[in-house]
Structure 1
Amino acid sequence: MKQVEGSYAESSFFAYVVYDIVKVGIYLTDIIDVGCVERGQAIMRNWGWIGVLAVMLVLVSGCGGPKADATIFIMTSSSVPPEMTQALQDDLNKTFENKFTVQVVASPLYSIEKLFVEYAAGENSVMIIPEEDAKRMAPQGGHVPMDKYFDAKTYREGVYEGSVYEGKNERKGTFLFSLPAEQLPGLNKHGIKEKELSVTIPSRTPDEARSVEIIKALAAEK
C-alpha cells in the first residue's frame, strides 16, 4: 500500500513540475504571440493532461513562427518518407495557389499518445490515420461527418458508427466519417496508398469548408 502511495506522490510531483514548466513557457510566449497564449490556456483547461501535452507540443514547435493556413497531419503504422510529404505539400500549394497555404506534417513513428494530442490541439484541417484509430475516435465525437460532401456509397469503408456533437447535444448514428486513402488519387500519386488508412476531418478543425476543399482535391472531385 505504501508503495502505491509513494508512486502516486512521485507522479503527482512530476505532474506539477511539468505543469509549471508548461505554464511558464506559455507566458514567455506572450511577447511573441498573445493568441498562442490564450489557445494554450484554453487547451489545458478543457482537455486536462492531454491538453498539457498538446501545449508542450505547440511550445516545442514554436508558437510565434509563420504558419500555413491549413495543416494535414499524417500518422501511419510505419513512417512516411519526407520526400512524399514534401511532394504532396507542393502539389496542394500549387492547387490552392493565391487561395490558402497548406502544410503537410507526418509523424516519424506511430504513437497513440501523440495522436490524442493532435486531436486535442485542434490545429489540423485533415488527419490521415490508421482506420482502427479513426473508428476508435468516432464514438468520442472526433470527426466531422462527410455525408453531405461525398457519396457514402463510393466510400463504403469509411461509413461506421459514431457520435456527432451539435453544440451540447450528442447525436449517435452511422455516418461517413472517413475516406480510404487508397481511393484518393491525390495521395496515391505520391506513394501514399497504404491499406486501412483513413482520411478524416477532425471535429476541432479550424475551418471545415477548407478541410473539405483539401479532401476534394485529394479525391480529384470538384
Structure 2
Amino acid sequence: MVLLAVFMLAGCGKDKPDVSVFMIDQNSDPTQVSDQLEKTLQEKLGPDLKVEVIASPLYNPQKLMVEYAAGGHDIMILPEDDMKNYGKLGGHVALDDHFDAKKYPEGVFASMEEKDDKTIDKTEHLYGIPVKDLKMFKDLKYTPDKLFVTIPISSEHIDNALKAIKAMTE
C-alpha cells in the first residue's frame, strides 16, 4: 500500500521549473510578495523559462537547512546572517563575473572554505545581492533590510538563475 501511494504521489508532481526561487526571512513575511514576484519574473523571462517562487511564511533555521540540503532551488533569498554562514561553508556561487561587486559591498566576503591543498580561501567574492537594491523588489514595495539574493552551489540551472537575478535588477 505504501509503495502504491509513493508511486501515485510521484506521478502527481508538476513539471520542474527552469528557475526555482525559495524565500525566507526572519523580519518579514515573503509570502506577501511571492505570487507577484513569480508573475513579474515570469513576464520578464518570457515563456521559455518556467519560474516558481516558494516562500516560507515563518522563519525557521531548520527549514532553511532542509531547503539547502534538498538542493531543489536555483535562487535562495534569505537573511544576511544565514547568507554569510552558508557562504562561509562554500554554499554559494560567486557572482563577481556577472554583477559589479562594488555596487553590492554588503554581499562581498571571503568564503573561508578549505581548498584541496588544505589552505583557507580568504579571497573575497560577491555571494549575495541585497533585495533592497533590486529594482523588481523596489517596484513590489518589498525591500526588507538585510535580505539577500544568492545562488546555491546545488543549483541545477545556474545560467537561468543568473538571468533571473539580472531581470530583478532591471
TM-score normalised by L of structure 2: 0.87
Match of 1:185 in 2: 135
Counterpart CA distance in 2 for 1:128 and 1:113 is 15
Match of 1:146 in 2: 95
- Deviating above 6 A after TM superposition, structure 1's stretches of 4 or more consecutive aligned residues are 168-171
1:77-97, Cα deviation, whole Å (9 max, x unpaired) = 134364521111111111122
Counterpart CA distance in 1 for 2:49 and 2:25 is 26
- State the SS of the aligned residue for 1:103: strand
Gaps of 5+ in 2: none
Counterpart CA distance in 1 for 2:125 and 2:162 is 16
Q: 1:126 to 1:164 in 2, by over 3 A?
A: farther
Query: Deviation at 1:68?
Result: 2.4
**Greater relative contact order: 1 or 2 (C-alpha under 8 angstroms, separation 6 or more)?**
2
TM-score normalised by L of structure 1: 0.68
Match of 1:135 in 2: 84
Query: Deviation at 1:187?
Result: 1.3
- How many residues align? The count is 167
Gaps of 5+ in 1: 1-23, 34-61
Contact 2:31 2:57 in 1 (8 A): no
Counterpart CA distance in 1 for 2:48 and 2:113 is 29
Query: Deviation at 1:164?
Result: 6.5
Q: Given the alignment of the two structures, is residue 206 of structure 1 paired with residue 163 of structure 2, yes or no?
A: no
Match of 2:51 in 1: 102
Counterpart CA distance in 2 for 1:160 and 1:63 is 42
Q: 1:212 to 1:81 in 2, by over 3 A?
A: closer
Root-mean-square deviation (Å)? 2.5
Fraction of identical pairs, as percent: 34
Which protein shows a greater Rg? Answer: 1
Match of 2:6 in 1: 29
